[in-house]
Structure 1
Amino acid sequence: MNNKPLIVMWGSPFSGKTIATVKLAQALAARRKNVLVIFSDALCPSVASIVPQQVSEQQSLGELLSLPALAQEDLLRYSLALKGSPHLAFLGYKKGDHLFSYADYSRERAVDLLTLARHTADVVLVDCASYVSAYLLSTVALELADTVFRFHTCDLKSMMFYASYLPLLSDARFKHAETIPILSNVKPGQDSRTYSQVVGGIRFLLPHVAELEQQALEARLMDSLPSGKDATAYQEGISHMMGLIVSEDTQKPHQRSVSAANKASIVRWFKGQLWSWRGGRK
C-alpha cells in the first residue's frame, strides 16, 4: 500500500483550525476520498463537541497510543466511523481526558500511528494542538507532514504566538519555509494586508462567518456550510486548500446516486472495517 497524504493544520489558539479541518474533511469525503481526521489536543478534546450524538461510541486516542503494540487493526478499532458519512472517520481524545490520563508514549509510537494512518486512509488530516511543544503527536505530525496549513488571525496575540514558536519551527525537520500560511477568521475592517506582511505573506484568506461560528458553538459542525457571501468565500478557501491536496480529476463530486438503504449498508461495512478494502486500489 502506498503512503497517502498527511495534511497538518497548525496555528495560534482560536484561529479556526478545527472548523477548517472539519469542513476540509467533509469536502474531501464528498469526493469519495476516505478521510481520517486525527484531533491531537488532549486538553480540549474536539470529537465530543463535533459529533455529540456518537460520544458513547468513541474510544480514546490516548488509550490507543498507550497500547503495548500498535497494529492497523487497532487503528481501525479505535477510529470513530461517522454515521451518514461513510468516507469519514475521527480519532481523538475523549471528553474528560487530559495530559495525564494515559501513560507517556514515545516518538516511535507517534511515527507508527501516523504511518499506519497513511497506509489506511486516502487522506489523513491532523488537527494539531497549538502548543505543539507539549504534544508529541503534534510535533511528529509537523515533521512528517506532506502539507502544513499554518493559521493566523488578525490580532496581536496571534502574531506574538507565532513569533514565540518561530525559533522552534525554524528547525530544518519542520520544513517551515514550505508551510502554507492562511489568514483565518478575518472580520470586516481588519487590516489583513498588514498582518499578512508580518507573517511573511499569506496564500489566501478564510473570512469570519458568523453562522459557521454558531455551528461550532451548537455542536453542529457536521452541518453543511450556510449560505451567504462570507460562507461562499469560505468555501472557496476550502476548495483552494483541497486543490493543494488532491489532483483536479478527483475534485468533482461522484455523480452516481446512492439509495438510503445502500448508504446504511455502506456505513455498517465502513464502521467494521473502515478503509482496509482499499489496499490494492489506486
Structure 2
Amino acid sequence: MKRHRRRRTLAPYLFLAPSLLCVSLFVLLPFLDAVRRSFYSAMSGQFVGLQNYRTVLHNAAFRLAVGNTLRFTLLCIPVLVALALLLALLLQAAKDERGVYKTTFLAPLAIPVASIVLLWKVAFHQNGMLNSLLSHFGVQPVDWLQTDWAFLVLVLSYLWKNTGYDMVLWLSGLQNISPALYEAAQVDGANARQRFFKITLPCLLPELFTISVLSLLNSFKVFREAYLIGGDYPHDSIYLLQHLFSNWFTSLDVDKMCAAATLVALAVLLLIFAMQAAWGRKENR
C-alpha cells in the first residue's frame, strides 16, 4: 500500500519533469543569468551594483517605451476583456450557429503576422484604401502609420487578433454555469441585468483572472506587428519596450538590456500577484 501511494504521489511530478526541465534550462536559468549580468559592466565585467538600473531609469528611450507599453496595456486589456465577454454572451444565445461564429472569430489567429501587417499597410498607407475613401470627402491624404494614429492602428490590430481567443475562454466559463441558477433567479423575479451581475459575473471570476493574465502576456507579442509596420525605430507613439530591447541587443548594450528586463519582469510578476490577491479576496466574499 505504501509503495502504491508513493507511486501515485510521484506520478504527477514524473509527467511534469520534462516540461520543468526544459523551462529551467531555457527560461529560468537564462533569466537568472540576466539578473546577475544586470549588476555587472558588460565591457569590463566589474561589479557596478545598481549603476545599470540608474542608467536605465534615466534613459529617455526607456521612459518612452514604458509609457507607450503601459498606455497600450491599460487601454487594450479592459477593452479586449469586455468585448470578448460581450461576444461570448451573444454567441451563447446563438446556439444553432455557434460553430460558424466561433470559427469566424478565431480566423485571425490562423493568419500570419506578415499578412496582417500587409493588410494594415494597404488600408492605412498614404496611398492606401482609407485615404482613397476619404479623398471623396475632400480630406487630404495622411500617412496614418507615421502619425499618432499609428497607436490606434496597433490597438485595432491587437483587438482584432485576440478577441476570438478570449471569447472562446469566456464561452468555456459560461458553459460551466448551471442553468438551474438562472431558472431559480427567474422564478424569484430577477431580470436579465440582475442575473448577469448576481450570477454570471461572480461565477466567471476565475476565468476573468486567467483571461486577464493571458491578455497581459499576449499584449507583449504585439511587437511583431509594430516592428513590421515601423521597423527598429517606428513612430514615437508605437515605440514599445520590445523595440528598446531589440535595439539594445543590436548595439550589444547587454548590461542595460539585462537591467531593463529584470525591472519589467519584476513589474509583471508584481502585477500578476496583485491581481491574484484581488481575485482571491473577491472569491472569498
TM-score (norm 1): 0.22
Q: For the pair shown, which has the larger CA radius of gyration, 1 or 2?
A: 2
Q: TM-score, normalised by structure 2?
A: 0.22
